[in-house]
Structure 1
């Protein structure tokens, strides 16, 4: 436990450091040394340290107001915003003369000034500014604050002695009586919106983490926890405190275990951004593998949400994966069976086995190709229909043409695109050979040659198809490795992307 004297001495030491600009406080993820300086101090006086607090913070949202009286020492350890705004260059904290700057040291100056300065300390005050417009992000702004005396008065002097008690004030006592009566009625405070309540909760969680208290985050519903964590990380990013807040968020979400990995598989782009802000290797890596495997699904969303450095990593990984897939596809199309003499089968040396290879190659081509475009609409579908009123046109769907709108579908890993289609087919070859080119399909194909169809030939055909499937499974092994911590069950795309240490951009 840190004593009051030690805390005040530490705060004074921080106040005497050289000025640091806002630009130098740093906005790069994970690069700040504040995370290493953040200690494990826990105090039961949170959120108002009446005796030692030197930074007053007022958070007002709707009809509610939260007041914090915290320590500059801890705020500057955890936040670049507070480190810069309480520095000599930027600070509005007041000294003994009522103006910004350093406190006069005890013992300096004449006797009367020394007496007045004794017991004084510097204080900063911040208030939440909602902004001029509705779209503005609420932000703490520093306000002028008078010097605070240990005696409780703003002028730094003890109150003058009184020769007799003041005269009674009847109106004062009536006001107190009315206040007492209203308090017995338990008048509830006016309600506030959910948005305002969330804002108060975010700031409270932010300061709780600064003082090593557990933040109030949902530990049952992971969807709610995600929203809370994302909002808190956004706030921490605003005050350059990700290095301190991120590990708390990472620890909280990892407690969901398998449920977390299932959510990441459903919403990879969203969790990729969250993992980046939280500087969570686990969440970031898991989401990045999903994003690369399902690319270009979610590309539009990702390009608007992530920094260029992450986009470059995604594009490099997608290109590397496409190169490997191309080589494996070429190898699969070149697969063939051999005769007893070791020759590749052909229509001239073993026609039945050559048919096996032909059917496999046709299936592979169909399975790895994009679906054909839809047929063009007929003339009756494209011709506009005259409305019943004799003016204007109606769409072929029967409603006004301007009522037809294109809806953007939410991101889904199971939406079939060309890369996803290839990935699904390759995973089928490498992991589930018993799910394609089965008995009925082989039988239907062989019946196309009535002169060859017989029970014995069908058995030989299926046996040779199994031999070819084994060769195909071996050829796809480089793509079958799953690097997901949550496993690849139910995933239709490739999950073999390897994430290296250099891919964690906040470590650069």
Structure 2
């Protein structure tokens, strides 16, 4: 409430009109932070020509000076225009709830100064006395302002204030104006989900008034203060935080979310298409294509992995049958886990038989036990992609794991070798496991380019399979779509 110096009055009321906030702010500050206020306070926008407040006042002073022949008898105090004359005009905005559709947010519109305006006087602002200067601010005024700022900072650090349903608009505009005056917005500092909702509302409001350059930095700083909590939340909802990071122009949040989105692509496509800028979609698709190309090169190397005999010859069934079986087992495992499941082409019968269908089902179940035991367990769906498409990312993560026992362990190799009773001996089992371990070491070297992790999120607690997708996408500063 800058009633001593402000020249813009803004009235924010709830839709039911029960509560309202009134602000007296400065046009210069608003115009520096918002393109909306910069344009709407110009003469060509508002349609009001210059009045006698500023230029007219100066003109009248010049006329007096010329009438006395430029005499210096008039004091400098008499020649100095009053505050209202310097400001030229005053503006008044109200939140218009009447002329909006159901899905559109209300906007500030200019209104003529009413009698109850905080600027005083009735009708237009020009009715105020042009010769009275505002009283000087007392020391108590500055003490009150300091106390108010201290109180606001305390509330912000404590996690924000409680807002009744329907009053969110009051808090959003209050945070917007606080940010414009370089004061900390009141946002939740404890609950990351609540903070996300408040920051998202503030960013959308700033976008409406072309003030993202000012608000984005505040939102970025507030969310990054959550640290590891924020990065875990981004991993759960990457598309949502990608949109927020883009609005806030936050390189850290945007890059973190982008790595998740690219790793799971195209799972997040329905949540992003027609909802983000074309430049963002182009960046996602380019990064996804780069990742797919790298993945294809690594996969080609894995298919060409081979063992050699003691004489340096490539293993074949004729020169080392046991080692060739180890290679066959590895390739079968890799094929099973990198190939989507086969879906039947016949439609299920609408009248299943009680006996005729049960026996084949049991037989099929028994015959597939061996293959099923080799396949990886299906990863649990995440909230961001409940119906994620098939991905081989988890297979590459297991191949690059430092622990060789994460796949094709002792029980699986033993069960495989038992399929040929003539070969199953203790010595052959040991030799067979050593050859499988050699293949695992070769595979680990082949997948190293895919093992890089550019996330801020600590993946050590997620096990050898990680998040279930690759996080090796690198986002450079030149990739950011708002700098293009």
Q: Residue in 2 aligned with 1:265?
A: 235
Tell whether the 8 Å contact from 1:80 to 1:241 is kept in structure 2 after alignment.
yes
Equivalents in 2 of 1:267, 1:150: separation in Å?
47
Tell whether the 8 Å contact from 2:239 to 2:268 is kept in structure 1 after alignment.
yes
Equivalents in 2 of 1:89, 1:219: separation in Å?
43
Q: Deviations over 1:103-149 (max 9, x none)?
A: 542544756xx99x855342011111123432232001112348999
Q: Residue in 2 aligned with 1:455?
A: 426
Segment of structure 1 superposing worse, 131-140 or 329-338: 131-140
Equivalent residues in 2 for 1:36-185, closer than 5 Å: 48-61=1-14, 62=16, 63-91=18-46, 96-97=51-52, 104-105=57-58, 107-108=60-61, 119-120=84-85, 121=87, 122-130=89-97, 131-145=99-113, 154-157=126-129
CA distance 1:447–1:375, shift in 2 (3 Å) = farther
Paired residues in the alignment total 401
Q: Does structure 1 residue 225 correspond to structure 2 residue 180?
A: no
Q: Deviations over 1:345-385 (max 9, x none)?
A: 000110000000000000000111112215744423499xx
Equivalents in 1 of 2:236, 2:192: separation in Å?
13
Equivalent residues in 2 for 1:249-398, closer than 5 Å: 249-373=219-343, 376-381=346-351
Q: Residue in 2 aligned with 1:497?
A: 473
Q: Residue in 2 aligned with 1:387?
A: none
Equivalents in 2 of 1:454, 1:108: separation in Å?
113
Q: Residue in 1 aligned with 2:384?
A: 412
Equivalents in 2 of 1:493, 1:433: separation in Å?
19
Equivalents in 2 of 1:300, 1:66: separation in Å?
39
Segment of structure 1 superposing worse, 254-263 or 295-304: 295-304
CA distance 1:505–1:104, shift in 2 (3 Å) = farther
Tell whether the 8 Å contact from 1:55 to 1:70 is kept in structure 2 after alignment.
yes
Shift of 1:341: 0.9
Equivalents in 1 of 2:231, 2:195: separation in Å?
14
Tell whether the 8 Å contact from 1:427 to 1:480 is kept in structure 2 after alignment.
yes
Shift of 1:196: 2.8
Tell whether the 8 Å contact from 1:219 to 1:225 is kept in structure 2 after alignment.
yes
Tell whether the 8 Å contact from 1:423 to 1:494 is kept in structure 2 after alignment.
yes
Secondary structure at the aligned position of 2:273 is classed as helix
- Give the TM-score normalised by structure 2: 0.76
Tell whether the 8 Å contact from 2:264 to 2:388 is kept in structure 1 after alignment.
no
Equivalents in 2 of 1:49, 1:470: separation in Å?
70
Q: Residue in 2 aligned with 1:435?
A: 406
Tell whether the 8 Å contact from 2:283 to 2:481 is kept in structure 1 after alignment.
no
Secondary structure at the aligned position of 2:43 is classed as coil
Tell whether the 8 Å contact from 1:317 to 1:497 is kept in structure 2 after alignment.
yes
- Give the TM-score normalised by structure 1: 0.73
CA distance 1:427–1:158, shift in 2 (3 Å) = closer
Equivalents in 2 of 1:303, 1:368: separation in Å?
28
Shift of 1:449: 1.2
CA distance 1:378–1:278, shift in 2 (3 Å) = closer
Segment of structure 1 superposing worse, 84-93 or 273-282: 84-93
Q: Deviations over 1:137-176 (max 9, x none)?
A: 20011123489999967524489xxxxxxxxxxxxxxxxx
**Gap runs ≥5 in structure 1:** 1-47, 160-191, 384-408
Q: Does structure 1 residue 507 correspond to structure 2 residue 460?
A: no
Tell whether the 8 Å contact from 1:92 to 1:144 is kept in structure 2 after alignment.
no
Equivalent residues in 2 for 1:175-254, closer than 5 Å: 194-254=164-224
Tell whether the 8 Å contact from 1:92 to 1:124 is kept in structure 2 after alignment.
no
CA distance 1:58–1:312, shift in 2 (3 Å) = same
Equivalents in 1 of 2:278, 2:352: separation in Å?
43
Equivalents in 2 of 1:149, 1:196: separation in Å?
25
Q: Residue in 1 aligned with 2:371?
A: none
Tell whether the 8 Å contact from 1:58 to 1:65 is kept in structure 2 after alignment.
yes
Secondary structure at the aligned position of 1:305 is classed as coil
Q: Residue in 2 aligned with 1:44?
A: none
Q: Deviations over 1:360-417 (max 9, x none)?
A: 000000111112215744423499xxxxxxxxxxxxxxxxxxxxxxxxx985357552
Shift of 1:89: 1.8
**Gap runs ≥5 in structure 2:** 65-77, 132-161, 354-380
Shift of 1:306: 1.0
Tell whether the 8 Å contact from 2:9 to 2:92 is kept in structure 1 after alignment.
yes
Secondary structure at the aligned position of 1:90 is classed as helix
Segment of structure 1 superposing worse, 438-447 or 347-356: 438-447
